[in-house]
Amino acid sequence: MSPFLAAIYWNVNPIIAHIGWVTLRWYGLFFMLPFVVGTFILTHIYRSERVSPQWVDVITIYMLVGTIVGARLGHMLFYDFDALMADPMVVFKIWQGGLASHGATIGILLACWLFARNNKFDYLWVLDRIVIVVALGGACIRTGNLMNSEIVGKPTNAPWAFVFPRDAEHLQSFAPNQPVPAGSYAVQRVANPQADKEPDVVGQPINGPVTPDTKVAVPRHPTQIYEALFCIFLLILLYSMWNRTKERTPRGQLFGLFVVLLFIQRFLGEYLKENQVDFENGRLLNQGQLLSIPLIFIGIWVLWRAGKDPENPYGYAPRDLGKEGDPQPKVETTAR
């Protein structure tokens, strides 16, 4: 296989456009996409179970706040605690990057609990439906990570490997007598003609020895794509299961299955990823794996208990639509 075909060269600019002082990024687009598309999915689910779609707008607001706050706090607490202690205000500087999926999970769980408590929904009924949308969100977020050339995998010679020249953190150097993996690229940062713009990243295929000061991007596992595809699989699986049972879905079944499968995949997938922070180096398990373990056990317990409560086997929600999806007519009474 020639070096030109040994890996997929991924040099996508994470910025879509600059509009005045606003910078549009692919990550932001993919972060918001599931909140938009998810409203259509939840509206269909709620209508199918005779629950008014007005609740979709309400829970979407809860989810948006819970996801952003949870993901940001999770990153600072789990991955960058020293920076948080040095400057607590850094937690508000989301534009600097730093969102953690485990923190988002905790934020979503809390947001759904608040929504259920405040609006008289069964908590597990809410979670069983929302995880279908969360699976879509996971696929979109990992696609956003791909567009950012972040959360990259370890080096590999697999034919589907990706080269990430924009991932400056994991560029490598080689001695002149050291073989460079097939499909690698020499990376340079070239000044942008527009002074206010970041330098461009240019990669050239390597066909022979390199100098020690050459920055090399080697083929790596596209772990973002692995996780995105797995989330699409979860989306199809969970929706298919719900579509068969709908209002008779065993309480906790979809949520428990989602948590178990997602975080088992996350635990195993971490073996293919580069560590995200320096303190993970040398550990038997990295931070993502440690945080996944309790969630796997929670999911197993919920799945084991799914539908076993004889007084509440399917959960409950306000059934405020008629059989055809129209609002229930109000019954007027006259005092006698």
| Domain definitions of the chain by residue range | 15-152+221-305
> Does pLDDT of 76 surpass 80?
yes
- CA dihedral of 315, 321, 323, 329, whole degrees rounded to 10: 130
Query: What does the pLDDT average to over 196-209?
Result: 81
The answer to whether 218 and 152 are in contact (CB under 8 A) is: no
Q: What percent of the chain has pLDDT over 90?
A: 75
Query: What does the pLDDT average to over 10-25?
Result: 90
Query: What does the pLDDT average to over 224-238?
Result: 98
CA separation for the pair 228, 234 (Å, rounded): 10
The token duo for 121 is: 């929904």
Q: 253-269 and 287-305 helices cross at what angle (nearest 10)?
A: 160
CA separation for the pair 262, 259 (Å, rounded): 5
> Does pLDDT of 214 surpass 90?
yes
Query: What does the pLDDT average to over 72-85?
Result: 88
CA distances from 88 to 67, 80, 107 (A): 20, 11, 19
Residues in CB range of 206: below 8 A, 6 or more apart: 3, 180, 184, 185, 186, 216
> What's the pLDDT band for 327 if we cut at 50, 70, 90?
low
* Of 128-137, 224-233, 274-283, the least confident: 274-283
Residues in CB range of 300: below 8 A, 6 or more apart: 256, 260
> Does pLDDT of 332 surpass 60?
no
Query: What does the pLDDT average to over 240-254?
Result: 97
The pLDDT assigned to 279 comes to: 86
Q: DSSP label at 186?
A: E
CA distances from 189 to 165, 204, 231 (A): 10, 12, 34
pTM: 0.90
